[in-house]
Amino acid sequence: MKKYSIMIIICFAIITAISSYYIQLAIASKNAVSFTIETTSGDKKEIDNLMLQASYQSGDSHRQLYITKDAATLQKRRSIISNLNTPYEISKYQQYFQEHRNFMRGKYLSPGNFFEDDVRIIHTTAPGNGENVLKGNLLTMDISILDKKSNDSLSFDVSTTAQVSYNFLLVNNVYADNGEIKILATGYPSNGGSELHLYTVDVNKKTLLYDALLAKEASDVDTNSTIKTFTDDNKYQKDYFVYMIDKYKRQEEGAPKLISSQLYLYNNKNNENEKLTIPEELAPKVDSLLLQGSEIFIPVFSADDLQLNRYNIEKKQWEKPLHIQLASDVLNEMVPFLQIANDKIYISESTTGGHLFFIYDLRTGKSLYEGQIKQENGENADYTLCIELLTEITH
Amino acid sequence: MKSYLKLVNFEINRFFKLYLIIMALTVVSQIMGTIIVSKGNMNYINQVIYENQLSVSQYIEENRPFSFQRVVYSEWFTMPIFFCMALLMIYVFFIWYREWFGKNTFIYRLLMLPAERITIYFSKLTAIMLFVLGLITLQIILVPIETFIFNRIVPAEFRTSYPLIDFYSVEIWRWLYPNTIIEFILMYGIGLIVVAIIFTAILLERSYGLKGIFSAVAYSVLSFGILVAPVILSSIYTSYFYPSEILLMELVTSIIVLGSAFWIANQLLKYKIRV
């Protein structure tokens, strides 16, 4: 026994240290920073299925947190193997993965790449995001269609000859109707700038019908332009999309000066592309535009008020803005988090008194819920919490 | 079993002095690093306070407190880890070649032992794993000591806590101490397979001479290829395979590679090894 003493000591030290390390880590994970949403007023059920994705910073500690009503704060695990699991566990595609496991293989997980209606799910992508497609070569789009009732799927690809060389190409929006699929995609030519294309695909013939160039960033010695697209990422059936072309004049010193900004509204149902006129006072805030179903929202924060301007696409008119009283003075504090989904307005304000969370009815502006995001556990009392995204979870 | 334990103990004793030196170097470097980094930061703070005629509370209002992260991110902390890794990697080769190239060809005596020859292989493999895990253990023991030293040097008002969970922001820490014990076993299991492949490749070279070098290279490339095939497949067909499928494929390929490494090594040691 004595002659094995070194080996025994090493083995004992290894087992003791490693097991106590992992016990300590498990305890640390349980007691790690966690937040809960404490109801102040309104219906508690409003937050039953909500998950707030937040960025937490305290001293040198920076973490991604997922806050739910029952303090089940999930930490984004920084590990090699669990990284494989995380995107699937807490993503908005969880239901797709559960119900259509085979169809979801190899799919690019971005809301813009999916379309869903009562009978089918469609996914389109440019393989490898269309990376390094040279001028004259084929630019391909992979299309997969799943019949939700029979669970049968169909995959095919369509191609067009690239008119310029692309660094990459990203699909922004997919729409399907009357045997056609419309794919909105932004191409990034290798000589700079970007192009907005609308590809129309005939599903029955499995061919590309049109490749319409909707917009192109132009640049010369004095001016340049930028394109920005706005889509409704809350749902997979998007009848409309909006894009904006901003033109800038280069300045000898300082940032380029905006000389014109034009919004376009594209209606997938009837292929209408119309210029959208924005009231002059909203023009500077147009960057924060939100598209929800058949409505366009432009939020404007003033000192202690949120003015939610809305445009009804079907009625083609700007409606009376909704005013929501804020708890804190925005000009002195951080700009509140705002998200519109499920006909509700979700607001989170970071105030000196703590982090407040509100839910309002999108139609009436009536308060549905009011709560406070409170820290349950945490090593440091001094921290900043920044809400980044709100998602619905399916248990 | 008895001869296996005897051989493991023998291998540990042979390397133990050098192993203690590596451990001592790690301890000295990391503790010195903790003192230097902590004192360096405190000197800077004192200089700022002195030059700007600030009170401590004024300084704290304007500047963020710092944590043990400064030590963890410094070369003093990471360099000894890389040094130990490099040394153990060299020893993976040395543990076999020393039997042939020492003063006496010790391999004679080892092969003549009244035990299965594959026991030599297993004992060397076990010894390497114990050395690796021993250094992993040392690091676990060192961190609380270094944190204690850091806290003694940096006054509470200038520092903030740095919980264990935040160590995972450091890349090397994520590799050395995977997030869960299961991941730890998986990660070091792969490490064990890699060492087994190298051992078998060495035995191929020792068995067939010059021809053996080529077969060792070919065997290593093939084994590594099979071992990483699931990972390569999943990166070519992005998102095609589900995580559980990748893990299952990896498990199957690991069993194939490890099993074949043991089988080839056994055959070589039994029938082909040249002294």
Question: Do residues A67 and A96 both lie within one domain?
Answer: no
Binned at pLDDT 50, 70 and 90, residue A378 comes out as low
Work out how many domains chain A is built from and give that number. Answer: 2
- Please check whether residue A66 is in contact with residue A387, taking contact to mean a CB–CB distance below 8 angstroms: no
The pair of structure tokens assigned to A210 is 């049109």
Count the neighbouring beta carbons within 10 Å of the beta carbon of residue B2. Answer: 7
Tell whether A16 is covered by a domain. no
Q: Which of A14, A34, A55, A113 to mutate to test the interface with B (most CBs of B within 10 A)?
A: A14
Reduced to 3 states, what is the DSSP secondary structure of residue B123?
Answer: helix
pLDDT in tens, A181-234: 999 999 998 888 889 999 999 999 999 998 999 998 877 778 888 999 998 877
Q: Which of B160, B174, B175, B186 to mutate to test the interface with A (most CBs of A within 10 A)?
A: B160
- Please check whether residue A124 is in contact with residue A108, taking contact to mean a CB–CB distance below 8 angstroms: no
pLDDT of residue A120: 92
Question: Do residues A185 and A299 both lie within one domain?
Answer: no
Report, as an integer, the average pLDDT of A340-345.
88
pLDDT of residue A87: 44
Question: Do residues A75 and A150 both lie within one domain?
Answer: no
Question: Do residues A196 and A289 both lie within one domain?
Answer: no
CA distance B191 to B188: 5
State whether B179 and A10 contact (CB < 8 Å): no
Question: Do residues A227 and A171 both lie within one domain?
Answer: yes
pLDDT in tens, B164-210: 888 888 888 888 998 888 889 989 999 999 999 999 999 999 999 88
Report, as an integer, the average pLDDT of A368-378.
84
pLDDT of residue A3: 79
Tell whether A219 is covered by a domain. yes
- Please check whether residue A77 is in contact with residue B169, taking contact to mean a CB–CB distance below 8 angstroms: no
A-B contacts at Cβ under 8 angstroms? 125
The pair of structure tokens assigned to A61 is 């500690």
> A55 and chain B: CB distance < 8 Å anywhere?
no
- The answer for A 10-29 residues in CB contact with B (under 8 A) is 10-11, 13-14, 17-22, 24-25, 28-29
> Which of A261, A276, A291 delimits the end of a domain?
A276
More confident residue, A29 or B193: B193
pLDDT of residue A380: 61
CA distance A183 to A161: 16
Question: Could you tell me the pTM of the whole model?
Answer: 0.80
The pair of structure tokens assigned to B76 is 């003093």
pLDDT in tens, A33-89: 788 888 899 888 888 888 888 888 887 777 888 888 876 565 655 555 555 554 444
pLDDT at A393 over 80: no
Angle between helical axes of B243-267 and B118-153 (0-180°, round to 10): 130
The pair of structure tokens assigned to A196 is 């907005």
Burial group, residue A162, by CB count within 10 angstroms (0-12, 13-18, 19+): buried
pLDDT of residue A137: 87
A28-32, A390-394, B113-117, B209-213, range with greatest mean pLDDT: B209-213
> B242 and chain A: CB distance < 8 Å anywhere?
yes
What are φ and ψ of residue A167, in 5° steps? Answer: -75, -45
Angle between helical axes of A82-89 and B243-267 (0-180°, round to 10): 160
pLDDT at A31 over 70: no
Which residues share a beta bridge with A390? A52
Residue of B nearest to A106 (CA): B240
Name the minimum distance, in Å, from the CA of B48 to any CA of chain A: 19
Binned at pLDDT 50, 70 and 90, residue A376 comes out as confident
Residues in CB range of B89: below 8 A, 6 or more apart: none
Instruction: List chain B domain ranges.
Output: 1-168, 178-275
Q: How far is CA B97 from CA B21, B105, B170, B275, in A?
A: 22, 10, 35, 11
> B129 and chain A: CB distance < 8 Å anywhere?
no
Question: Do residues A245 and A263 both lie within one domain?
Answer: yes
The pair of structure tokens assigned to B119 is 């026991």
The pair of structure tokens assigned to A249 is 């004049």
Q: Across the interface, which of A78, A85, A380 has its CB nearest the CB of B169?
A: A78
Residues from chain B that touch A22, judged by Cβ atoms under 8 A, are: 180-181, 184
User: ipTM for the complex?
Assistant: 0.86
pLDDT at A394 over 60: no
> Which of A276, A310, A328 delimits the end of a domain?
A276
Write out the DSSP string of B27-91. Answer: HHHHHHHHHHHHHHHHHHHHHHHHHTT--HHHHHHHS--B-THHHHTSHHHHHHHHHHHHHHHHH
Rounded to a whole number of angstroms, the CA Rg of chain A reads: 25
CA distance A165 to A152: 36
pLDDT of residue B75: 92
Tell whether A245 is covered by a domain. yes
Name the minimum distance, in Å, from the CA of A327 to any CA of chain B: 26
> Which of A276, A297, A317 delimits the end of a domain?
A276
Question: Do residues A228 and A134 both lie within one domain?
Answer: yes
CA distance B168 to B171: 7
State whether B165 and A28 contact (CB < 8 Å): yes
- Please check whether residue B73 is in contact with residue B176, taking contact to mean a CB–CB distance below 8 angstroms: no
Residue of A nearest to B14 (CA): A6
Name the minimum distance, in Å, from the CA of B210 to any CA of chain A: 37
Which residues share a beta bridge with A122? A115, A145
- The residue range of the domain holding A331 is 32-79+283-395
Residue numbers in chain B where pLDDT is lower than 70: 103-104, 275
Tell whether A3 is covered by a domain. no
What single letter denotes the amino acid at residue B135? Answer: L
Tell whether A154 is covered by a domain. yes
Question: Do residues A393 and A325 both lie within one domain?
Answer: yes
State whether B65 and A61 contact (CB < 8 Å): no
Residue of B nearest to A103 (CA): B240
Residues in CB range of A119: below 8 A, 6 or more apart: A147, A148, A149
Name the minimum distance, in Å, from the CA of B211 to any CA of chain A: 38
Count the neighbouring beta carbons within 10 Å of the beta carbon of residue A170. Answer: 19
pLDDT at A347 over 50: yes
Which residues share a beta bridge with A37? A373
pLDDT of residue A346: 92
Which of B77, B177, B188, B170 lies closest to B131 in space, CA to CA?
B188
Question: Do residues A310 and A372 both lie within one domain?
Answer: yes
State whether B186 and A107 contact (CB < 8 Å): no
Mean of the per-residue pLDDT values of chain A: 84
- Please check whether residue B261 is in contact with residue B220, taking contact to mean a CB–CB distance below 8 angstroms: no
pLDDT in tens, A138-191: 889 999 999 988 889 999 999 888 888 899 899 999 999 889 999 999 999 888
CA distance A184 to A286: 21
- The answer for B 146-165 residues in CB contact with A (under 8 A) is 160-165
Burial group, residue B232, by CB count within 10 angstroms (0-12, 13-18, 19+): exposed
Please give the torsion angle defined by the CA atoms of residues B128, B133, B138 and B140, in that order, rounded to the nearest 10 degrees.
160
Binned at pLDDT 50, 70 and 90, residue A131 comes out as confident
Question: Do residues A343 and A233 both lie within one domain?
Answer: no
pLDDT in tens, A164-178: 889 989 999 999 988
Which of A228, A339, A231 lies closest to A286 in space, CA to CA?
A228
Which of A174, A173, A223 lies closest to A203 in space, CA to CA?
A174
Question: Do residues A161 and A232 both lie within one domain?
Answer: yes
Tell whether A11 is covered by a domain. no
Report, as an integer, the average pLDDT of A89-112.
80
